[in-house]
């Protein structure tokens, strides 16, 4: 009888110790959810909803996810940065940055650097962005607005994949031309500093032709130009301004 009582007491003690140990582990796990970290080194950091759906990804160039629109992912080279996702799991904007590397890195005084923060049209590509592009000191910095088609980007990706599988020839060339026309996405607004060091606001028509230029040039001279669809200045303010010849878009 005493032997049985002793075994029961041992079992009771084991249960108590086990419960205490479980409580310590549970408390530690809870405390770790609010743990302060002074420094964290990672190649990729995912921000997710409670159901595991991605909200944002911060990663290097090797681990940044492929673009995804309308549930369809497609392969492309990507620089390091941060990607945002909407409630449907599609990419909806991001931040990228970097400079030329490898064989195309600095060659004497030549270099390349870039950065951009963009927000995407629903199921499409970027609709508005803050852009920095620098080619050995010839740089463009500003805000751009693009006019994207209503067709989801995923459909253009699917069509492009089918065209790549076609045999070379006139039919393939025609299909590629049709795809490019359907996916035409002209710049509609530019506000910033261009490669000619002009502080400039440009408004474009639906075909991507500059139609109004408001600028202060590198010499500090202000001007407002109205252009036709071929880039010819039709009216300029002040009236004695001598507009520059048309530039390539």
Do 32 and 130 fall into the same domain?
Answer: no
Q: How confident is the model at residue 4 (pLDDT cuts 50, 70, 90)?
A: low
Within a domain: 65: no
Q: Do 183 and 205 contact (CB within 8 A), yes or no?
A: no
Within a domain: 100: yes
Residues 173-225 have pLDDT tens digits of 999 999 999 999 999 999 999 999 999 999 999 999 999 999 999 999 999 99
User: Which whole number is the average pLDDT over 21-29?
Assistant: 54
Residue 30 has pLDDT above 90, yes or no: no
User: Can you give the pLDDT at residue 140?
Assistant: 94
Mean pLDDT, the chain, rounded, equals 84
User: Can you give the pLDDT at residue 60?
Assistant: 94
Within a domain: 175: yes
Within a domain: 55: no
Do 127 and 20 fall into the same domain?
Answer: no
Within a domain: 215: yes
Within a domain: 78: no
Within a domain: 58: no
Give 103's Cβ-side CA count (13 Å radius).
0
Do 156 and 229 fall into the same domain?
Answer: yes
Residues 59-74 have pLDDT tens digits of 999 999 999 888 888 8
User: Can you give the pLDDT at residue 136?
Assistant: 85
Residues 67-119 have pLDDT tens digits of 988 888 888 888 899 999 998 999 999 999 988 754 455 566 788 899 999 99
User: Residue 162's domain is classified under what CATH number?
Assistant: 3.90.930
Domain span including residue 11: 1-36
Distance CA 178, CA 89 (A): 29
Do 97 and 23 fall into the same domain?
Answer: no
Nearest-CA neighbor of 81 among 126, 111, 50? 126
Split into its structural domains, the chain has a count of: 2
Q: Do 21 and 29 contact (CB within 8 A), yes or no?
A: no
Nearest-CA neighbor of 92 among 67, 66, 65? 67
3-state percent breakdown (helix, strand, coil) of the chain, nearest 5: 25, 35, 40
Q: What tokens were used for 101?
A: 């590397």
Do 122 and 220 fall into the same domain?
Answer: yes
């Amino acid at each position: 009888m005493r032997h049985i009582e002793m075994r029961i007491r041992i079992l009771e003690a084991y249960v108590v110790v086990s419960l205490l140990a479980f409580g310590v582990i549970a408390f530690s796990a809870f405390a770790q959810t609010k743990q302060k970290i002074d420094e964290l080194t990672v190649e990729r950091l995912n921000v997710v909803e409670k159901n595991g759906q991605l909200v944002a990804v911060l990663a290097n160039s090797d681990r940044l996810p492929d673009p995804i629109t309308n549930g369809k992912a497609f392969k492309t080279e990507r620089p390091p940065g941060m990607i945002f996702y909407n409630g449907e799991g599609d990419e909806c904007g991001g931040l990228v940055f970097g400079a030329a590397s490898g064989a195309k890195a600095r060659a004497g005084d030549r270099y390349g650097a870039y950065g951009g923060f963009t927000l995407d049209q629903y199921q499409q590509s970027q609709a508005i962005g803050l852009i920095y592009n620098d080619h050995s000191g010839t740089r463009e910095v500003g805000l751009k607005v693009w006019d994207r088609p209503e067709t989801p980007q995923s459909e253009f990706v699917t069509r492009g994949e089918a065209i790549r599988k076609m045999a070379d020839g006139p039919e393939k060339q025609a299909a590629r031309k049709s795809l490019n026309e359907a996916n035409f996405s002209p710049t509609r607004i530019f506000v910033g500093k261009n490669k000619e060091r002009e502080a400039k606001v440009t408004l474009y028509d639906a075909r991507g032709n500059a139609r109004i230029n408001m600028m202060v040039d590198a010499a500090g001279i202000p001007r407002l130009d109205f252009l036709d669809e071929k880039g010819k200045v039709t009216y300029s303010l002040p009236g004695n301004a001598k507009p520059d010849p048309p530039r390539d878009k």
